[in-house]
Amino acid sequence: MKFSANLGFLWADRPLPDAIRAAKAAGFDAVECHWPYDVPASAVRAALDETGLPMLGLNTVRGNPGENGLCALPDRKPEARAAIDQAIDYAVQIGAGAIHVMCGFAEGPQAEATFLENLRYARKACPDSITLLIEPLNRHDAPGYFLHSSQQASALLEKLRLPGVKLMFDCYHIGRTEGDLVTRIRDLAPIIGHIQFAAVPDRGEPDRGEINYAFVIDAIEKLGWTLPLGAEYKPRETTDTGLGWLSDMRL
């Protein structure tokens, strides 16, 4: 199995280009990030070219302090679309493969309609080479976040019916609130665009906690999944001291 380092959490104390180089040195096959916009795209692209690592994806911005995305907020459509345009422009410059469209804190039919409208806008504006991702966040960490379950995400994608818009299946978020990960991954496989993981419940390295990731990853491999899995966890100490899982899970 191949693995991607999420540089929103791993080597987060380093400038993004240096974090990319650290991921290469540690043996990761790819990288992904959260909000790279303060770093010149040219510097990120140079580090990617130097290391040969693909950038799997990035997020649309959260918005104002305390917010967690804009794209399901009915009264924030101009800002949401500016965030989408920003993400597309940056993703094109660095060759990123996907954009996670963050919906924010909202609820109800109007929020759903707004999110669908903004996803349609994003798909029309986005090159076909870039996948759009939507991600349910668990209610423990992100109470009030619009998208909060895999069932809700699946229903939205069914309503949307657009190619190149898929589910980001984060084993940590789904594990905290739904469980039964292998069954859910198997059932949702046709609409999954990216898989991430971290320990449950502490979101640390995947070598302990409630989820046996050796079992889960073996099941994912048996489904024929070949894309890198995203290591989006918060190191319990430093990134480098917690990387023992990486070699163990390659065996």
Residues whose CB is less than 8 angstroms from the CB of residue 93 and which lie 6 or more positions away in sequence, other chains included: 41, 42, 45
Q: What is the mean pLDDT of the chain?
A: 97
Q: 165: closest CA among 108, 119, 221, 206? A: 119
- Residue 251: the pLDDT is 63
**44-66 confidence digits (pLDDT tens):** 999 999 999 999 999 999 999 99
Dist. CA 21–CA 47, nearest whole Å: 7
Domain 3-250: what homologous superfamily?
Divalent-metal-dependent TIM barrel enzymes (3.20.20.150)
- Residue 250: the pLDDT is 78
Report whether 162 contacts 129 (CB < 8 A). no
Supply 71's token pair: 């794209």
CA 158 to the chain's CA centroid: 20
Dist. CA 107–CA 82, nearest whole Å: 22
- Residue 194: the pLDDT is 98
Band of residue 121 on the pLDDT scale cut at 50, 70, 90: very high
32, 135, 210, 221: the catalytic one is 135
- Residue 49: the pLDDT is 98
- Find where tokens 């920003």 sit: 86
**159-185 confidence digits (pLDDT tens):** 999 999 999 999 999 999 999 999 999
Dist. CA 218–CA 110, nearest whole Å: 40
Whether 135 is a known active-site residue: answer yes
Does residue 150 have a pLDDT over 70? Answer: yes
Q: How many CB atoms lie within 10 A of CB 67?
A: 15
Q: What's the mean pLDDT in 231-243?
A: 97
Q: How many CB atoms lie within 10 A of CB 221?
A: 12
- The domains of the chain are located at 3-250
**72-93 confidence digits (pLDDT tens):** 999 999 999 999 999 999 999 9
Dist. CA 162–CA 124, nearest whole Å: 10
User: Mapping DSSP to helix (H, G, I), strand (E, B) and coil, where does residue 199 land?
Assistant: coil
Supply 161's token pair: 């019916």
Angle between helices 181-188 and 213-222 (to 10 degrees): 20
Whether 117 is a known active-site residue: answer no
Dist. CA 218–CA 238, nearest whole Å: 27
Does residue 239 have a pLDDT over 70? Answer: yes
- Residue 181: the pLDDT is 97
Q: What's the mean pLDDT in 14-40?
A: 98
Please compute, for residue 63, the number of CA atoms within 13 A of its CA located in the half-sphere on the CB side: 20
Does residue 115 have a pLDDT over 80? Answer: yes
